[in-house]
Structure 1
Amino acid sequence: MGRYVARRLLQMIPVFIGTTLLIFLMVHSLPGDPVRAMWGDKAADPAQIEQLRHSFGLDKPLWQQYVDYMKGLFQGDFGQTFGGRPVWDEVSEAFPVSVRLAVVALLIEIVLGIGLGAWAGLKAGKAADTGVLIFTLVVISIPVFVLGYFAQTIFANQLGWVTPNVQDSEDITQLVLPGFVLALLSMAYVARLTRTTFAENLRADYMRTAVAKGLPRRRVVGVHLLRNSLIPVVTYLGADFGTLFGGAVVTEGIFNVQGVGNLLYKALSQREGSTITGVVTIFVLVFLVLNLIIDLLYAVLDPRIRYA
């Protein structure tokens, strides 16, 4: 196990360098001058523009900018915003908010997605199965921003159960509605994936053996069926937890959640390359760590899996 973890950590290094390079090149290939855009429609002094470009290192060759960025990154320096504030300070304030929102969404996704999928899988071919498949198909077909405004109108404006916008991101109860909207699409995929794996494993030989041995149905379903069916679901959930951060851009905008998604949207609108690159670099690190944790969880779910 130790050698496997060490090998995976070494594999993360070229992946991390390659992804950050790609992100850096994509951000800096956007048309327009981000420094000139700070003045909007107003006239700007060319000398001031050149001075700011020099202070942010934008007058250097692109490869030199990337090398300087990576040097600072390994020293914990994510650069500075155009306002002169460290990018890490911006991220450190917004990141915990997005983590709480993503955790709420993931819990909803796990409980509802696996619950509905397991119920449909055990009732394969029956009315309950058909109802779950139709419901998840409808959810998948509706864009996230439509679901967000619909939920905001019904539960906040008409029923008055929650506030339309999040007033305090520290209050976990105010994140339930945006977390539910954020989780809906992934919950539908989890339900369909769980339903498929349950229906397939119900016909497996080990299931017939467990039933023939006279084991209680609760043990057959809860131990043998559930653990083997969750392997592909856990793979999806682990990758989706990182995806929830990126998907939060729309949800955080609708519900005024001051998280990483909101920060990324503002940085994109203002063409702040250092902020965009810093935020997406955090996303890359989250994905890499989560993929490693998922691989290690396989052995917990299925003892037959061993790591060479």
Structure 2
Amino acid sequence: MGRYVARRLLQMIPVFLGVTLMVFLMMYALPGDPVRALYGDQTYDPAQIAAIKADLGLDQPLWKQYMDYLFGLVQGDFGQQIASQVPVSEIIADALPITARLALLAFAFTVVFGIALGMIAGLKAGRPVDTAVLIVTLLFISVPVFVLGYLAQFFFGHTLGWVTPVVQDSDNWGELLLPAMVLGSLSLAYVARLTRTSIAENLRSDYMRTAVAKGLPRHRILSVHLLRNSLIPVVTFLGVDIGSLMAGAVVTEGIFNINGIGSELFEALFRREGSTVVGIVSLIVIIYLAVSLIVDLLYAVLDPRIRYA
């Protein structure tokens, strides 16, 4: 196990370097000058612009800027925002808890309702309940998140008045519930369909017939034998989905006026704040890689037949 974890950690290094380098190059390949944009339509002194670039290291060759960023990242320095001169780490520290709460609620909504719907549909495959679940999940997959967000905001907020149309307090878990449901709707549809397919397939397996023939209680057959083996593809998707929920929060946070990582990333892209974008993306990549490793280790827990050389 230890050797496998060490090998996976070593494999993460080129992945992290490749993704951050690609984002770094794309940001600095965009047209425009973020330092010059600070002055807007006002007149400016070219010497002052050069001094600001020298202070931020933007006058260095691109490879030197990237190497400086990596060395700073090892020390916990995500760079500095150009406009506000605030360290990117402080911006992330303020916005990350908000997005984490939103993603956690969306993840819980996805896991609980997605697996429950998928299991019901799998056990009732071919029946009206199964058809209804497939239609509802297809609807969630077909409708874009921003359309679903505005519909939920209009129906539950403006029409019924059950919730506030926009989030006024990001620390209030109750106000984040509707945005979390919108954010997790697409993931719920995929989880339900994955669970349904896996359940329906494993129901026909030999070990299920053996468990029934041995006279085991139905709840033990369903929970220990059927669900446990059926969750392996679902866990794989859920592991990747954690990072997707944080990255996909850009649209949801914009609709519901939530000042989280997604909002900061959108504003940084709009202002061409390369250091902020690369810093936030680096954090999301780290979360992706860490969760991917945890998911691989969970395989052995779900299926005792899986062992790591």
Cα shift at 1:9 = 1.5
Deviates more, 1:158-167 or 1:42-51: 42-51
Runs of 4+ in 1 over 6 A off after TM superposition: none
Match of 1:170 in 2: 171
Opposite residue 250 of structure 1, the aligned amino acid is V
Alignment check: 8 A CA contact 1:190 1:233 kept: yes
Deviations 1:13-66 (A, max 9, x none): 222222211121111111221212222333332222222222221111100110
Q: What secondary structure does 1:300 align onto?
A: helix
Unaligned residue ranges in structure 1 (runs of 5+): none
For 2:35 and 2:234, the matched residues in 1 are separated by 45
Match of 1:262 in 2: 263
Identity of aligned residues (%): 64
Q: What secondary structure does 2:163 align onto?
A: coil
Equivalent positions of 1:293-308 (< 5 A) are 293-308=294-309
Q: Is 1:27 aligned to 2:3, yes or no?
A: no
For 1:207 and 1:54, the matched residues in 2 are separated by 68
Match of 1:209 in 2: 210
Match of 1:143 in 2: 144
Match of 2:194 in 1: 193
Deviates more, 1:160-169 or 1:141-150: 160-169
Cα shift at 1:160 = 1.3
Alignment check: 8 A CA contact 1:198 1:229 kept: yes
Opposite residue 113 of structure 1, the aligned amino acid is G
Q: Is 1:70 aligned to 2:88, yes or no?
A: no
Opposite residue 147 of structure 1, the aligned amino acid is L
For 2:263 and 2:294, the matched residues in 1 are separated by 27
TM-score (norm 2): 0.97
Alignment check: 8 A CA contact 1:242 1:283 kept: yes
Q: What secondary structure does 2:243 align onto?
A: helix
Cα shift at 1:3 = 1.7
Cα shift at 1:167 = 1.4
TM-score (norm 1): 0.98
Alignment check: 8 A CA contact 1:38 1:270 kept: no
Deviates more, 1:88-97 or 1:19-28: 19-28
Unaligned residue ranges in structure 2 (runs of 5+): none
- Aligned residue pairs: how many? 308
For 1:186 and 1:61, the matched residues in 2 are separated by 42
Deviations 1:126-180 (A, max 9, x none): 1111111111111111110111111111111111111111111111111101000
